[in-house]
């Protein structure tokens, strides 16, 4: 069994025990911490699609266990038929959301593990899958910890840190990506302030980042997305740290809608802009940001707030869930292997490329 959330005061994003996948329903936070058991491929697909489990690394881990859940019903089949079901269910889960590369990365890794296993029966192949999902889970926790170690020195005594969306513990199974340097700096006794963008339309910053940082005792202030420029103009932000859903080979990256605005504003005010990126979120097969598919979500996420209509009936809506920030606005990538600066194409390939 892999240990649950390393943060004592926070419910685990997901757990795997007795062949059961349980997730914390993040759509109900911060009001209530409801844990649900996912018992079929369809339930896993819906949980990812509806953002009950969300954040690129957490989606990857959930999909790996989700694939184990998905093939449990095929365990009575002969090996060939089991392998066919495995491929089919992986393709199905992969269609839940398009932008975070961790989803396809983890499913491909599961299929590769199944291919390489010299299993002669279905039961042992199933156990290979569970072992691989647990390896992905443990690795996610290690990557977050590595990002924390390398990123913490960016937060100095008295710093103001701005973050967007939730790239926190809730978006991973460890201490988060963008929040890892925050938790590590706090552990080192550094005094600093964090500003959390609320992150319209689904308010991951207000509902999740504010919730987890507050529970961890971090000095956190909630602001609306439109307040970032004003904060920087007042000199209250020393560093921006965001997460990412996919980083292309040239260093362009996708993250929650509004990240591009922040990067532009940070450049204008000369504020450092870092992206916390575990290697599981790198997509070196996509040359640049133009190749990243951006998820578009339903209109009601914009026209409604807390279930209440806030726009005129029939209004046209544009609701991309992510945007792409060009690499030249990035000060550096905080990875588990250290901080990677420009030129990104060469430096990412040298550190994480196939040949490296
Ligand atoms: O739509 P979400 O909530 O899954 O979007 C999450 C983000 O954009 C995060 O910043 C990103 O996945 C990195 S999580 C460590």
Domain termination residue (choose one: 114, 145, 176): 145
Q: Please give the Cα distance from 231 to 265 (Å, whole number).
A: 10
Q: Mind listing the pLDDT tens digit for each residue in 136-194?
A: 999 999 999 999 999 999 999 999 999 999 999 999 999 999 999 999 999 999 999 99
CA dihedral 332, 218, 322, 141 (to 10 degrees): 70
Whether residue 91 is found in the same domain as residue 208: no
Q: Please give the Cα distance from 279 to 276 (Å, whole number).
A: 10
- Residue 82 alpha carbon to ligand 1 centre in Å: 33
Q: From the CB of 171, is ligand 1 less than 6 Å away?
A: yes
Domain assignment present for 5: no
Structural contact between residues 173 and 141, judged by C-beta atoms closer than 8 angstroms? yes
Q: Is 283 a catalytic residue?
A: no
- Grade residue 354 by pLDDT with cuts at 50, 70 and 90: low
Whether residue 140 is found in the same domain as residue 39: yes
Bridge-based pairing state of the strands 239-242 and 220-223 = unpaired
pLDDT of the residue at 129: 98
Which ligand 1 atom is the nearest neighbour of the CA of 208? 3
Q: Please give the Cα distance from 109 to 124 (Å, whole number).
A: 17
Q: From the CB of 255, is ligand 1 less than 6 Å away?
A: yes
Instruction: Give the CATH number for residue 81.
Output: 1.20.120.420
Instruction: Give the CATH number for residue 254.
Output: 3.40.50.10470
Whether residue 139 is found in the same domain as residue 282: no
Q: From the CB of 60, is ligand 1 less than 6 Å away?
A: no
Domain assignment present for 2: no
Domain assignment present for 7: no
Q: Please give the Cα distance from 163 to 354 (Å, whole number).
A: 31
Whether residue 320 is found in the same domain as residue 174: yes
- Residue 52 alpha carbon to ligand 1 centre in Å: 12
pTM: 0.97
Q: Percentage of the chain with pLDDT > 70?
A: 99
Whether residue 62 is found in the same domain as residue 34: yes
Whether residue 122 is found in the same domain as residue 221: no
Q: From the CB of 247, is ligand 1 less than 6 Å away?
A: no
Quote the domain boundaries for residue 36.
Answer: 14-145
Catalytic pick among 245, 252, 283, 323? 245
Residue 231 pLDDT greater than 80, yes or no: yes
Whether residue 230 is found in the same domain as residue 158: yes
Host H or E run for residue 37: strand 35-38
Q: How many domains in the chain?
A: 2
DSSP letter, residue 205: I
Q: From the CB of 165, is ligand 1 less than 6 Å away?
A: yes
Q: Mind listing the pLDDT tens digit for each residue in 3-34?
A: 777 776 899 999 999 999 999 999 999 999 99
Q: From the CB of 256, is ligand 1 less than 6 Å away?
A: yes
- Grade residue 207 by pLDDT with cuts at 50, 70 and 90: very high
Domain termination residue (choose one: 113, 145, 177): 145
- Residue 208 alpha carbon to ligand 1 centre in Å: 11
Whether residue 161 is found in the same domain as residue 97: no
Domain assignment present for 132: yes
Domain assignment present for 1: no
Whether residue 196 is found in the same domain as residue 331: yes
Q: Mind listing the pLDDT tens digit for each residue in 243-288?
A: 999 999 999 999 999 999 999 999 999 999 999 999 999 999 999 9
Bridge-based pairing state of the strands 220-223 and 253-256 = unpaired
- What is the 3-class SS of 260-329, one letter each residue? HHHHHHHHHHCCEEEEECCHHHEECCCCCHHHCCCCECCCHHHHEECCEECCCCCCCCCCECEEEECHHH
- Grade residue 355 by pLDDT with cuts at 50, 70 and 90: low
Q: What are phi and psi of 223, to 5 degrees?
A: -130, 160
**Across all residues in the chain, what is the average pLDDT?**
97
pLDDT of the residue at 356: 43
Number of Cβ within 10 Å of residue 209's Cβ equals 33
Whose CA is closest to 121, among 83, 71, 87?
A: 83
Q: Is the peptide bond before 30 cis (omega within 30 degrees of 0)?
A: yes
Domain assignment present for 154: yes
Domain termination residue (choose one: 81, 115, 145): 145
Domain assignment present for 301: yes
- Grade residue 1 by pLDDT with cuts at 50, 70 and 90: confident
- Residue 164 alpha carbon to ligand 1 centre in Å: 9
Spell out the residues 6+ positions from residue 154 whose beta carbon is closer than 8 angstroms to its own. 181, 239, 241, 272, 274, 334
Radius of gyration of the chain (CA): 20
């Amino acid at each position: 069994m892999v240990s649950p959330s390393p943060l004592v005061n926070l419910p685990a994003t997901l757990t795997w025990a007795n062949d059961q996948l349980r997730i914390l329903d993040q759509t109900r936070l911060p009001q209530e911490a409801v844990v649900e058991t996912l018992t079929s491929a369809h339930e896993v697909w819906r949980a990812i699609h509806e953002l009950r489990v969300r954040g690129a690394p957490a989606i990857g881990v959930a999909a790996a266990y989700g694939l184990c859940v998905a093939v449990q019903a095929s365990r009575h089949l002969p090996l060939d038929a089991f392998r066919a079901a495995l491929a089919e269910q992986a393709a199905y889960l992969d269609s839940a959301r398009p932008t975070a590369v961790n989803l396809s990365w983890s499913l491909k890794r599961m299929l590769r593990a199944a291919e390489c296993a010299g299993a002669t029966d279905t039961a042992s192949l199933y156990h290979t899958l569970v072992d691989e999902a647990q390896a992905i889970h443990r690795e996610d926790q290690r990557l977050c910890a590595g990002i924390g170690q390398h990123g913490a020195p960016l937060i100095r005594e008295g710093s103001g840190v701005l973050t967007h969306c939730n790239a926190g513990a809730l978006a991973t199974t460890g201490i988060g990506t963008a929040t890892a340097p925050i938790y590590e700096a706090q552990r080192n006794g550094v005094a600093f302030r964090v500003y959390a963008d609320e992150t319209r339309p689904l308010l991951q910053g207000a509902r999740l980042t504010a919730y987890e940082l507050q529970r961890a005792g971090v000095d956190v202030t909630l602001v609306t997305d439109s307040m970032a420029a004003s904060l920087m103009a007042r000199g209250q932000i020393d560093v921006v740290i965001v997460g990412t859903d996919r980083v292309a080979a040239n260093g362009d990256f996708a993250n929650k809608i509004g990240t591009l605005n922040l990067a532009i504003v940070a450049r204008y005010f000369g504020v450092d802009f870092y992206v916390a990126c575990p290697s599981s979120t790198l997509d070196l097969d996509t040359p640049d940001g133009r190749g990243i598919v951006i998820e578009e979500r339903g209109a009601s996420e914009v026209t409604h707030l807390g279930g209440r209509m806030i726009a005129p009936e029939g209004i046209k809506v544009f609701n991309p869930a992510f945007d792409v920030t060009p690499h030249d606005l990035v000060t550096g990538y905080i990875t588990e292997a250290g901080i990677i600066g420009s030129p990104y194409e060469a430096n990412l390939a040298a550190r994480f490329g196939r040949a490296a």
